[in-house]
Amino acid sequence: MPKRKARKILDKECVDEMIYNTKSDRDRLIMELQSRCGLRIGEVLKLRAQDVSDRKLILESPKSGKDEEIAFMPVQVAKRLIDYVNRKQLLPIDKIFPICYSTARSMIRKSGAKLHVKISPHDLRRHSATYASRNGVPLEIISKVILRHQDLKTTQIYLGKVTDAEAIRWMDVLHER
């Protein structure tokens, strides 16, 4: 069986710069929901105003085949999303981001190109998992809460390789250097 090509994992600074350099509130929120909350681009584009509840998002008809799943947001992303929905005066059934996949993909690619980075929407989801892992979040939480995978093995595929410097840093953290 052919080996999977290792994907380059974006570092936090690069993702943050892409997000902060975005002029459009819509585009910023799309990238934040992927990179900070681990949402798939399809999940982001299906969101309706009624799906936003405080710091939770109700994901209707998710990839898992369940009727719905819940995704969680950091407080600052939740606040920006709620403000955006209110500013746009969206009705409960209105899509928050009424654009198609190709428009979203193009926007993300252009944002990356400004920083000379080749990026796809799924790279932002992958960044979410790797960033959480590098900051000590248990694999079970990354898998079941952030990415909402059924199997831990699927989550492990998302995580980038550990560098020697990271391994040494974690040994120091573990043993209280």
Give the number of other Cβ atoms within 10 Å of residue 102's Cβ. Answer: 8
Domains of the chain (ranges; CATH) run: 12-174 (1.10.443.10)
Position 37, amino acid: C
Which residue, among 89, 74, 80, has the nearest Cα to 28 in the 3D structure?
Answer: 80
How confident is the model over 100-115, as pLDDT tens digits?
999 999 999 999 999 9
- What's the average model confidence in pLDDT over 85-104? 97
Termini Cα distance of the chain: 43
How confident is the model over 36-46, as pLDDT tens digits?
999 999 999 99
37 Cβ neighbours under 8 A, 6+ residues apart: 57, 71, 72, 73, 74, 77, 128, 146
| The pLDDT of residue 73 | 94
CB-count burial class (<10 Å; 0-12, 13-18, 19+) for 3 = exposed
What predicted TM-score, i.e. pTM, was given to this entire model?
0.83
Collapsed DSSP state (helix, strand, coil) of residue 2: coil
